[in-house]
Copies of this chain bind each other. A is one copy, B any other.
Amino acid sequence: MAETDKPSASTGEFDRISKYFRPLVKDAPGALNLADDAAVFAVPDGHELVVTLDTLVEGVHFIGDEPADLLARKALRVNLSDLAAMGATPLGYFLSLSLPKRIEDAWIELFCKGLTADQGAFDWHLLGGDSTSTPGPISLSITALGTVRKGQALKRSGAQVGDALYVSGGIGDGYLGLLAAKGQLPYGPEADAMLARYRCPEPRTRLGQALVGRAHAVMDVSDGLVGDLAHICAASGVGAVIHAPSVPLSPDAAELVADQPSLYLELLTGGDDYELLITGPGQAIEDAAQASGIRVTRIGEIVQGDRVMVLDADGEELTFAYAGFRHS
C-alpha cells in the first residue's frame, strides 16, 4: 500500500494503513501485509484472470451523505457484479481512496467495517492500494480481480439467434432507489426498501459462476435493461425482443409502479439494477438458476437484426425517450 501524504484532520497515513487497512488483508498472503511495493499472488493452474475497475466520485456517483459502510459495500458490489457477469470467482481487490481533509477517522472506521462485511460475504480480500488526500470530493476506485477456468469467461459477444433471454432477480429497484435518494418517491416502506437496494445492490456472484459453460452471453445491467441488451446485440451481431409484461419487478417496485404507471417505462431504461442479463438455451439457464438459488425470468429472445424491440402486451412496439445507450 502506498502512502503518499497525510490528511491533516486525522491519523497520519502510516498509522491509518496499519490501524484500518492492514486487518483487511490478514488472510491474504499475496498482499505481503501491505508492506511491499506491490502484491504478489498466483492464479490457479488452468485459470485465467478477470479484472475490472470502477470508480465512484462524490457528487457524481453518490451523494455524499451515505453511511460510509454502505458506500464501501456499494463500491465492492458494483465490481463484484462485473466479475459475476464474466462468470468469475472473486479473488481480491485493490482500493484507491482519496479523501478530503474534513473526513475523520470515524468515517474511515465505518468505511472499513463495510469492506470487512463484504469481504466475508464474498470470500475475498484487500490485496493493496493507495490512500491519498484530495482538495476535491471523496473518490474511490476499486480494481477487482477474479478467476475463471481458461477460455470459459462469459462475454457479451456470444448471443445467438434463437437464444432465450433471461434476467435475474427484479428490474427497477436501483432506479427507484435513486429516486428515493433524491426525495422523489413518496416516503414509506417501499421507498426505504428501494433506497436500501440502491445503496447496497446484490451482485449475482453464484449465478454468474453457475452460468459458465451454460449461457451464451451475459452482462450485468448497470446502465439500464434496454441499453445494456443493445450492447449484447451490438457485440454479438444480433437483435433482441423484450416482452415488457414479462420483465420482473420486485413486489415493492410493483407497488410503486401501480401508483405511478408512468414509471414503468423508465424502469426498463433506468440503471443500477446489477442484475444479470443472460442469453442461451432456456433449460441450461434455468438449471444454473436452480444450482445457484437465484431466480431468473424469461423476458424475451434473441432474433436476427441489429436492435432491441420492446413489445407491450398487445405485441405493439414501445418507444423510449431515453434508452440509456447509443448504437455505435
Binding site for B on A (CB under 8 A): 2-5, 12, 14, 18, 32, 35-43, 45, 48-55, 57, 59-61, 82-83, 85-86, 88, 94-96, 98, 127-130, 132-137, 139, 141, 143-146, 148, 150, 153, 155-157, 219-220, 222-223, 231, 235, 326, 328
Q: Does the CB pair A145–B51 fall under 8 Å? A: yes
Which residue of the partner chain B has the closest CB to A4?
Answer: B61
Which residue of the partner chain B has the closest CB to A133?
Answer: B60
Residues from chain B with a CB closer than 8 A to the CB of A156 are 35-37
Copies of this protein chain in the complex: 2
Q: A40: which of B3, B48, B137 is its contact (CB, 8 Å)? A: B48
Cα–Cα distance between A85 and B132 once the two chains are bound (Å): 21
Q: Does the CB pair A36–B155 fall under 8 Å? A: yes
Q: Does the CB pair A37–B98 fall under 8 Å? A: no
With A129-B53, A136-B57 as contacts: A32 and B155 at CB distance below 8 Å: yes
Cα–Cα distance between A32 and B158 once the two chains are bound (Å): 13
Residues from chain B with a CB closer than 8 A to the CB of A36 are 86, 155-157, 219, 235
Which residue of the partner chain B has the closest CB to A59?
Answer: B135
The 18 listed contacts between A and B (C-beta, < 8 Å) are A2-B52, A35-B156, A35-B235, A36-B86, A36-B156, A36-B235, A42-B150, A49-B49, A54-B130, A55-B98, A55-B130, A55-B132, A55-B141, A57-B133, A57-B136, A59-B134, A60-B135, A136-B137
A-B interface, 3 closest residue pairs, ranked by CB to CB distance from nearest: A136-B136, A38-B52, A143-B143
Q: Does the CB pair A86–B35 fall under 8 Å? A: no
Q: Does the CB pair A60–B4 fall under 8 Å? A: yes
Residues from chain B with a CB closer than 8 A to the CB of A43 are 42-43, 48-49
Q: A135: which of B49, B82, B83, B136 is its contact (CB, 8 Å)? A: B136
With A4-B60, A60-B132, A134-B136 as contacts: A41 and B32 at CB distance below 8 Å: no
Q: With both chains docked as a complex, state the minimum distance between the C-beta of A306 and any C-beta of chain B, in angstroms.
A: 16
With A4-B61, A52-B128, A53-B130 as contacts: A96 and B39 at CB distance below 8 Å: no
Q: A85: which of B37, B60, B135, B146 is its contact (CB, 8 Å)? A: B37
With A14-B328, A326-B12 as contacts: A51 and B39 at CB distance below 8 Å: yes
Cα–Cα distance between A134 and B146 once the two chains are bound (Å): 28
Residues from chain B with a CB closer than 8 A to the CB of A88 are 38
Which residue of the partner chain B has the closest CB to A35?
Answer: B235
Q: With both chains docked as a complex, state the minimum distance between the C-beta of A131 and any C-beta of chain B, in angstroms.
A: 8
Cα–Cα distance between A247 and B157 once the two chains are bound (Å): 56
Residues from chain B with a CB closer than 8 A to the CB of A135 are 57, 59-60, 136-137
Cα–Cα distance between A36 and B127 once the two chains are bound (Å): 24
Residues from chain B with a CB closer than 8 A to the CB of A129 are 53
Residues from chain B with a CB closer than 8 A to the CB of A136 are 57, 59, 134-137, 139
Beyond the given A37-B83, A43-B48, could you list 6 further A-B residue pairs with CB under 8 A, ordered by the A residue number? A14-B326, A37-B219, A49-B49, A57-B132, A60-B134, A134-B137
Q: A49: which of B42, B86, B222 is its contact (CB, 8 Å)? A: B42
Cα–Cα distance between A38 and B142 once the two chains are bound (Å): 13
Which residue of the partner chain B has the closest CB to A40?
Answer: B153
